[in-house]
Amino acid sequence: MAADYDTGFSEHHYRTNDGLKLYVRRYAATNGESTATPVVCLPGLTRNSRDFHQLALMLAEGRYGAARTVYAFDYRGRGRSEWASDKATYNILTEADDVVAGCAALQIDKAIFIGTSRGGLILHVLAGLRPTLIAGTILNDIGPVIEAAGLAQIRSYLTRGARPKNWKEAADILKETHGGSFTTLTDADWQDMAHAIYAPRGRKIAADYDPAIARQLMEINFDQPLPALWPQFEGLKAFPMMVIRGANSTLLSAATLEEMQTRNPKVRAITVEAQGHAPLLHLGGLPQQIAGFTGDIG
């Protein structure tokens, strides 16, 4: 049975600078007005706030440390946020600006940010755009260098257009696509992933994002090296940092993680065995390690 993704939080909306109505989940700390630094969760390219549901509940409940409020964002065009009429606004700079607007609307003055994939790239921008918002960062399977082979793999399965007829078929598609990288997931884990990625569309289910986002990947020329973000990474060095890498990841290489540690010896690095891009943060010992990292910040 899939996780219940519809309880344990309150729903909030805010307007972006160009007028879109975007969605945020707020998981309140169970001990009332917690003094612990809140956590803001930023999902991957086509993913949404549901990716963080189980982890957010653990952190809000204080299962492995201080209870703290958690916010999980849906970017424009994803999840329960409005789709953009101007598809060119599906870019990291605009989405970083949207996060700043969301934090202002929700009165988040400072937070520990968890960025999965695209979310981690947004954090690289946020460090320059609004550094006062950041108390610490957790980069989930992302760094300043994106491996072209991994991004090409993402483009391949996003543009494949598989349309499941039911939830079981959705889980089966995900297992067929990602099972080689996530070798220890159970059937229940694949069902959870399906309910996080897909959403009902009338009598059918579909991936929960504007297809224009995936189509942007078709414009990338993989014959040219992808730009690195080492200058932006320098900005992130001012804050406590944890980096989580899937041992089977094709997007964040072991060499890049090693270089991140060389440039910032204070990085707390974790490699997750039997997982690829991007590790599921509610499984294994990751919740305890994330809670320990956030606890050290306060």
SS3 of residue 246 by DSSP: strand
Distance of alpha carbon 149 from the chain centroid: 20
Tens of pLDDT, residues 86-131: 999 999 999 999 999 999 999 999 999 999 999 999 999 999 999 9
Segment 136-161 shows an average pLDDT of 90
The predicted pLDDT at position 129 comes to 96
Segment 18-36 shows an average pLDDT of 91
pLDDT band at residue 223 using 50, 70 and 90 as cut-offs: confident
The residue type found at 58 is M
Domain 10-146+227-297 superfamily per CATH: Alpha/Beta hydrolase fold, catalytic domain (3.40.50.1820)
Structural tokens at position 110 = 């400072």
Tens of pLDDT, residues 48-86: 999 999 999 999 999 999 999 999 999 999 999 999 999
Task: Give the residue extent of every domain in the chain.
Answer: 10-146+227-297
Over the chain, what is the mean pLDDT? 94
pLDDT band at residue 239 using 50, 70 and 90 as cut-offs: very high
Q: What percent of the chain has pLDDT over 70?
A: 98
Structural tokens at position 252 = 């964040």
CA distance 99 to 120: 12
Among the ranges given (67-76, 208-217, 262-271), the one the predictor scored with the smallest mean pLDDT: 208-217
The predicted pLDDT at position 163 comes to 83
The predicted pLDDT at position 80 comes to 98
H helices present in the chain, as ranges: 53-61, 92-105, 118-129, 148-158, 167-178, 187-197, 211-215, 230-236, 254-263, 286-297
In degrees and rounded to multiples of 5, residue 111 shows phi and psi of -150, 160
Sheet holding 134-140, edge to edge: 10-15, 21-27, 70-74, 39-42, 111-116, 134-140, 241-246, 268-272
Whether residue 245 has pLDDT greater than 80: yes
Cβ-proximal residues to 33 (8 Å cutoff; 6+ apart), any chain: none
